[in-house]
Amino acid sequence: MEKDIIVMGIESSCDETSVAIVKNGREVLSNVIDTQIPIHEKYGGVVPEIASRNHIEAISRVTKKALEQAKVTFEDIDVIAPTYGPGLVGALLVGLSYAKALSFAIDKPLVGVNHIQGHIAANYITYKELEPPFICVMTSGGNTQIIHVKNYTEFEVLGKTRDDAIGEAFDKVARVVGLGYPGGPKVDKLAKEGEPNIQLPKTHFENLDFSFSGIKTAVINLNHNNPNIKKADLCASFQKTVTEILIENVEKAIEQTNIKTIALAGGVSANSYIRKEFSKLENRGIKIYMPDLKLCTDNAAMIASAGYYNYINGSRDILNLNAVPNLTF
């Protein structure tokens, strides 16, 4: 029997400090997440400098807790896998620098992970049987992409947003209707009380790109010009329209690649309406995978899983690995 590979994942790209211990890419031994949401809530969004400082304050404590919960020591770790981009540069640097120092101190290999690759890998933890190839619908606060996952370490972006990320649009809609930050879960909740009866614009492109700035502005204007508009209807209509936009592009991706296996990923894939509508595609012979809710938003278990696949594929980094805020595939 082959030796188990234990990976320590380290995530600090935005407002969650997270450290996880994952065995053989799929078995989570611990996944400690220290969220800064309450700190940033009063500013209506993430303040990068405050995020960096809080990561510094949290990182050692979170690491210690992750080791304790997994019942392992530094000796048992085979690989250290930090997120090195995309994300906020100051925030990324905290987790990455910590990982580099740790790799040097305990003499274990360092393997950098693309945060988006991590979101995709959240599916491997939830579904032990899932293997590439598949199409990933990556929807988060900073990204919206349709990705052809060719194998564990090879990706092709088939389409992406030309302006706002879908999560950014959710957060903005929440802010204008007075729900606060982070907006996605609040829009999701309020939409359940409303009817999707308001017509909102969709932007179409020849290829699989997205645009969410038009619909975002339409919601802002409708809310501004109609003080009596039912906020729940506005949220339900926004949610329904962006879901239709996602599904229309997924249909194009299926046509283009002939791949009928779809995996959702990223914070917005926690949305209950999006999950419900994507599930309905199963009636049309499309296989749908969705990460566990707690693995949709930022966490280090998904980073450790991606780090495992990078490692067994031969990837190694050295101590000059730098943070890359706009890292792409």
Interacting span for ligand KG4 (CB under 6 A) from 57-65, 203-211, 217-225, 267-275: 267-275
Q: How far is CA 78 from the centre of its chain?
A: 25
Q: Which of 11, 188, 209, 317 binds ligand KG4 (CB under 6 A)?
A: 188
196 binds ligand KG4 (CB under 6 A): no
Backbone torsions φ then ψ of 132, nearest 5 degrees: -65, 160
Q: Which of 155, 170, 278, 308 binds ligand KG4 (CB under 6 A)?
A: 170
Size of the site for ligand KG4 (CB under 6 A): 19
- Residue 202 CA to residue 166 CA, distance in Å, equals 13
Q: Which of 21, 67, 173, 268 binds ligand KG4 (CB under 6 A)?
A: 268
171 binds ligand KG4 (CB under 6 A): yes
x/- track of binding to ligand KG4 for residues 6-25 (CB under 6 A): --------x-----------
185 binds ligand KG4 (CB under 6 A): yes
Q: Hey, how many other C-beta atoms are within 10 angstroms of the C-beta on 22? A: 31
Q: Which of residues 140-169 bind ligand KG4 (CB under 6 A)?
A: 140-142, 167
- Which residue, 152 or 238, is less far from ligand KG4 as judged by CB? 238
Q: Which of 9, 82, 132, 184 binds ligand KG4 (CB under 6 A)?
A: 184
Cα→Cα distances 213→96, 105, 247, Å: 32, 46, 18
Q: What are the beta bridge partners of residue 19?
A: 10, 32
- Which residue, 9 or 141, is less far from ligand KG4 as judged by CB? 141
Nearest to 124 by CA among 249, 270, 23: 23
- Residue 193 CA to residue 96 CA, distance in Å, equals 43
266 binds ligand KG4 (CB under 6 A): yes
Interacting span for ligand KG4 (CB under 6 A) from 203-211, 223-231, 262-270, 321-329: 262-270
Q: Which of 161, 297, 305, 310 binds ligand KG4 (CB under 6 A)?
A: 297
State in angstroms the smallest separation of the CB of 185 from ligand KG4: 4
State in angstroms the smallest separation of the CB of 170 from ligand KG4: 4
- Residue 145 CA to residue 209 CA, distance in Å, equals 8
The secondary structure of 276-314 as a DSSP string is HHHHGGGGGT-EEE---HHHHSS-HHHHHHHHHHHHHTT
- Give contact residues for ligand KG4 (rule: CB under 6 A): 14, 140-142, 167, 170-171, 182-185, 188, 266-268, 270-271, 297-298
